[in-house]
Structure 1
Amino acid sequence: MADPKGFMTTPRQEWPRRPVEERVRDWHEVYVPGALLPIVSKQADRCMDCGIPFCHHACPLGNLIPEWNDLVSREDWRAASDRLHATNNFPEFTGRLCPAPCEAGCVLAINQPAVTIKNVECAIADRAWEEGFTSPRPPERLSGRTVAVIGSGPTGLAAAQQLTRAGHTVAVYERDDRLGGLMRYGIPAFKMEKHHLERRLEQMRAEGTKFRPSTAVGQDIGAAELRSRYDAVVVATGATAWRELPVPGRELAGVHQAMEYLPQANRVCEGDLEVSPLSAAGKHVVIVGGGDTGADCLGTAVREGAASVTQLDIYAQPGTERDEDAEPWPTYPKLYRLSAAHEEARDLGTAPAADADARLFAASTLRFGGDAEGRVRRLHLVEVDAGRRPVPGSERTLPADLVLLALGFSGPDRSDGLVDQLGLELEPRGTLARDAGFATNVPGVFAAGDAARGQSLIVWAIAEGRAVAAAVDRYLTGRSRLPAPISPYDRPMTV
């Protein structure tokens, strides 16, 4: 510990956000540029260096958090970068996109605000790029073995980087025209600007990883043919089969899935489109679903100039303090959290009918109503109790010119033929079946990430990529020195 009394003398201070009125006019990240480094060393001083760091256990990557907190407090940025990258291939991604279960597991959080672990992580990653600590690490020699990775999200990229560094020749296949998976077209730029992704991809290219964008395995190339070309295949396509809302009026024009809407806005930021064909400009928008994807839609609609935006959450509004009986420390509690998008909607008053911000809690959609041209114009909802039963007399109507369904994902998309062509077995819930070594029922084919685990967090995706890389390396060579932070059966800490 650089400062044994830091957790007693220094209050928690987070990376400040830019003023709402300023940031909603652009697509840049919401945080004040350069405002993190001046505060982060003192924030790292708050780490207690406790004997049993539960932050390790709360993070599936096994990040060495007290170690790099201590190094940051001493401003030894190179050593901090080494310790951070020892367990995480892409800390600039997790430092911006992860909801930080590590902070929920911080020992200090038992009775005080947790250490700003996520901010410290982001500061180390950004400083590492600024100082040149992230130079490519190509292998000293090649193994002569080849691996195809299908999917370029965080799981696929982590697996590819680990296997490339182990000496295997790796090619990553991506069906979209650009690499990155949901980080590219699903995550808005105001949460993570794409230059962070681009420089990591350049690092991987310099290390020897090959990329094949605009190649849908199962369509542009047969899955069986691909399997015959490589010594091993990793399926890391993500869980992109979205959940539907089977209510009357679903067929009306203007009702779209969130992942039909968000990629168009991202393509505007990429310069592919001048205006999104699904733009929320001037429209009354209702988002069905209270998760992170719904919040991404919210922030996007606000920036596009929506007339109003309301987000529906079927759950009751959570409290601001942990329920020690239902969700004791160090589990990740369900709390009322104000994301940047919700802060924007609250301050701008985008949803006059909502509860605390743009969200309507304990609200369930009954049906959609449309006009004579078959376009959606209103959404009928009802309040529900804790058992999701309708509350009599609580039905109401919201104006809706654009409805976005953000209800999560059930498993891999099977429309491209990949799963069927390889003959991969599925779990009852629709995810890819695998054994304790990440292997599917097809010899030499491995499954990792959301496609097999189900919808999860970016830290779990990267941990899956690192772990499946170790499994593939062992399959190809008989042994592996690559770290395997999790097994296929590990799950987040719960009661």
Structure 2
Amino acid sequence: MGKPSGFMEYNREVATERIPLERIKDWQAFYDHLPEAKLETQAARCMDCGTPFCHNGCPNHNLPLEWNDLVYRGLWREAYNRLSKTNNFPEFTGRVCPALCEGACTTGLIDTAVSIKGIECAIIEKAFAEGWVMAQPPAKRTGKKVAVVGSGPAGLACAAQLNKAGHWVTVFERADRVGGLLVYGIPNMKLEKQYVQRRVDLLVAEGVQFVTKTEVGKDYPAAQLLNEFNAVVLCGGATKPRQLSVEGNQLQGIHYAVEFLGANTKSLLNSNHTDGCFISAAGKDVLVIGGGDTGTDCVGTALRHGCRSVVQLEIMPQLPLQRGANNPWPEYPRIHKVDYGQQEAIAVQGSDPRQYCSMTKRMVGDAQGQVKEVHTVQIEWVKNAQDRLEPKEVIGSEKVWPANLVLIAMGFSGPEDQLLDQMGVARDERSNVQAAYGQFTTNLPGVFAAGDMRRGQSLVIWAINEGRGAARECDRYLMGSTNLS
């Protein structure tokens, strides 16, 4: 596919990023886009590898080989048609996905991987710009009514597929905007919200109904839901933050990352921050506990607020610069990276904000109960009698960090309880909804589950995959068979 010798002739190029000291002054995307001619050249790097792995690296089994060849030949509309067969929302994954496909790219064995993610994003944006993406309501309705609880990527993908099959779909969202974590979990500079709204508007035009500011199990009884709909798909996410059980965790100025990020985006969208209804980091010493993507988003957001300093604690050691022996291709490479938030902190502070192998011991407050410092200790990871790694404190490594805003970004422990308990939905040992992958059926007839609520905290691409899968099985339940993929 592409140009047979392209991977030898052309170097990898990706979209350039705006200068960190400039981009922290606003909330727009921190990256630019490659021009069309360069993208066609990048697509030429997709080698005729015979046994590709890129489509297996992607949970959705997208076919980058095919779009790359079509883009290389200038057949952009055909590339869009191919892309849209397996991915409902490439405008989301093309911006926020870690690109599992690139980790499994054969070219990456001998050189740098093909820039699949950038090409994917360019295809869908050109499709919108050219008017190829149009509302396509189903020609015939089945008369069946399906409720989808949650409007994150799993819920949206599920709704899109069920609507395509001709069912009447109603999506319930407790927030004031549709999109779930796409809106209130991912900052605007990483995923600008007009792209989410653009897709929601398209789904509305296709016949999907959205009900916002309505929490099922609270504002809308679960029993009523089961009575009024022929089937229900639970896509409510894993939104219960993981607790940090240390002394002083109840002090003022300590917040969960999702609270900090969600309030920031809501205030930005509502008033460009003029309403003051957000947790400001302006002029504060900020300490972020958690080294993942959400922690990085907290770093980037705090810098845009104008924080005095920011530190990011990571309990795990720094990843290696190259693949380890236990991380062979085509697995996703677990290697050290400097993400956008760290780039910005380096530009502002002169050093990476991450502190590795650092464990929080306690938090100390002032006389008014406001957090003022965080005490940590360095750890090393050693194997126990069961050959499992466990943390061991390094004697004499205690450190005190000034902090009057602490953001806990340690991930999520599972879905919230109220709706699931009210419905009597069975859980697995991790408290997620018990529903086998590929079947997505719960212990209740006609009730399905998908996304983070079923599998635990995961990626947007996995949410789309699960939403599509649950829609397929829900359609089979309603109709006896299905044509959904």
TM-score range normalised by the length of the shorter chain: over 0.9
- Structure 2 CA distance for aligned equivalents of residues 316 and 421 of structure 1: 41
Q: What does residue 227 of structure 1 align with?
A: 226
- Structure 2 CA distance for aligned equivalents of residues 291 and 29 of structure 1: 20
Secondary structure, counterpart of 2:313 in structure 1:
strand
Unaligned runs of 5+ in 2: 383-390
Distance verdict in 2 for CA 1:36–1:297, change over 3 Å? farther
Q: What does residue 249 of structure 2 align with?
A: 250
Deviations 1:117-150 (A, max 9, x none): 1111111111111011110111010001110000
Which of 366, 379, 392 does residue 374 from structure 2 map onto?
A: 379
Q: What does residue 107 of structure 1 align with?
A: 106
Secondary structure, counterpart of 2:286 in structure 1:
strand
- Structure 2 CA distance for aligned equivalents of residues 2 and 39 of structure 1: 14
Q: What does residue 202 of structure 1 align with?
A: 201
Matches within 5 A, 1:323-472: 323=324, 325-349=325-349, 357-387=352-382, 388-414=391-417, 417-435=418-436, 436-472=438-474
- Structure 2 CA distance for aligned equivalents of residues 161 and 358 of structure 1: 41
- One-letter amino acid of the counterpart of residue 362, structure 2: R
Q: What does residue 174 of structure 2 align with?
A: 175
Q: What does residue 299 of structure 1 align with?
A: 300
- One-letter amino acid of the counterpart of residue 420, structure 1: D
Q: What does residue 11 of structure 1 align with?
A: 11
Deviation at 1:183, TM superposition (A): 0.7
Q: Does 1:186 align with 2:188?
A: no
Q: Is the 8 A contact 2:2 2:68 kept in 1?
A: no
- Structure 2 CA distance for aligned equivalents of residues 303 and 196 of structure 1: 22
Deviations 1:273-302 (A, max 9, x none): 523441000000000000000001110000
- Structure 2 CA distance for aligned equivalents of residues 163 and 401 of structure 1: 47
- Structure 2 CA distance for aligned equivalents of residues 73 and 357 of structure 1: 38
Deviations 1:396-445 (A, max 9, x none): 1111010000001111112xx21111100111111000145111011110
Q: What does residue 279 of structure 2 align with?
A: 278
Q: Is the 8 A contact 1:171 1:209 kept in 2?
A: yes
- One-letter amino acid of the counterpart of residue 176, structure 1: A
- Structure 1 CA distance for aligned equivalents of residues 206 and 123 of structure 2: 22
Q: What does residue 291 of structure 2 align with?
A: 290
Deviation at 1:259, TM superposition (A): 0.8
Secondary structure, counterpart of 2:375 in structure 1:
strand
Q: Is the 8 A contact 1:239 1:409 kept in 2?
A: yes
Deviation at 1:456, TM superposition (A): 0.7
Deviation at 1:38, TM superposition (A): 4.1
- Structure 1 CA distance for aligned equivalents of residues 142 and 111 of structure 2: 50
- Structure 2 CA distance for aligned equivalents of residues 2 and 422 of structure 1: 51
- Structure 1 CA distance for aligned equivalents of residues 424 and 49 of structure 2: 49
Distance verdict in 2 for CA 1:469–1:309, change over 3 Å? same
Q: What does residue 478 of structure 2 align with?
A: 476
Q: Is the 8 A contact 2:237 2:453 kept in 1?
A: yes
Q: What does residue 490 of structure 1 align with?
A: none
- One-letter amino acid of the counterpart of residue 101, structure 1: L
- One-letter amino acid of the counterpart of residue 450, structure 2: A
- Structure 2 CA distance for aligned equivalents of residues 75 and 276 of structure 1: 47
- Structure 2 CA distance for aligned equivalents of residues 2 and 256 of structure 1: 49
What is the root-mean-square deviation of aligned Cα atoms in Å? Answer: 1.1
- Structure 2 CA distance for aligned equivalents of residues 276 and 50 of structure 1: 53
Deviation at 1:36, TM superposition (A): 4.5
Deviation at 1:341, TM superposition (A): 1.2
Secondary structure, counterpart of 1:465 in structure 2:
helix
- Structure 2 CA distance for aligned equivalents of residues 305 and 257 of structure 1: 19
Unaligned runs of 5+ in 1: 484-495
Q: Percent identity?
A: 47
Deviation at 1:271, TM superposition (A): 2.0
- One-letter amino acid of the counterpart of residue 13, structure 1: E
- One-letter amino acid of the counterpart of residue 233, structure 1: V
Q: What does residue 493 of structure 1 align with?
A: none
Secondary structure, counterpart of 1:141 in structure 2:
coil
Q: Is the 8 A contact 1:59 1:102 kept in 2?
A: yes
Q: What does residue 489 of structure 1 align with?
A: none
- Structure 1 CA distance for aligned equivalents of residues 244 and 343 of structure 2: 27
Q: What does residue 23 of structure 2 align with?
A: 23
Deviation at 1:332, TM superposition (A): 1.1
Q: Is the 8 A contact 1:287 1:403 kept in 2?
A: yes
Deviation at 1:342, TM superposition (A): 1.1
Deviations 1:247-275 (A, max 9, x none): 00101100110011001110122024523
Distance verdict in 2 for CA 1:444–1:86, change over 3 Å? same
Distance verdict in 2 for CA 1:283–1:215, change over 3 Å? same
- Structure 2 CA distance for aligned equivalents of residues 375 and 14 of structure 1: 44
Secondary structure, counterpart of 1:385 in structure 2:
strand
Q: Could you tell me the TM-score, scaled by structure 1's length?
A: 0.94
Q: Figure out how many residues of one structure are paired with residues of the other and give that number.
A: 474
Matches within 5 A, 1:479-490: 479-483=481-485
Secondary structure, counterpart of 2:393 in structure 1:
coil
- Structure 2 CA distance for aligned equivalents of residues 37 and 400 of structure 1: 46
Q: Is the 8 A contact 1:446 1:472 kept in 2?
A: yes
Secondary structure, counterpart of 2:380 in structure 1:
coil
Q: Is the 8 A contact 1:46 1:115 kept in 2?
A: yes
- Structure 2 CA distance for aligned equivalents of residues 278 and 192 of structure 1: 20
- One-letter amino acid of the counterpart of residue 449, structure 2: A
Secondary structure, counterpart of 2:288 in structure 1:
strand
Deviations 1:2-23 (A, max 9, x none): 4211101111111001111211
Q: Does 1:142 align with 2:145?
A: no
Deviations 1:184-223 (A, max 9, x none): 1111000010010011001101110000011100011101
- Structure 1 CA distance for aligned equivalents of residues 2 and 305 of structure 2: 46
Deviations 1:309-361 (A, max 9, x none): 111111111122111x1100011122111111111111111xx6xxx611111
Q: Is the 8 A contact 1:36 1:123 kept in 2?
A: no
Q: Could you tell me the TM-score, scaled by structure 2's length?
A: 0.96
Q: Is the 8 A contact 1:36 1:119 kept in 2?
A: no
Report which stretch shifted further, 106-115 or 433-442.
Answer: 433-442
- One-letter amino acid of the counterpart of residue 234, structure 1: V
- Structure 1 CA distance for aligned equivalents of residues 71 and 332 of structure 2: 25
- Structure 2 CA distance for aligned equivalents of residues 269 and 83 of structure 1: 36
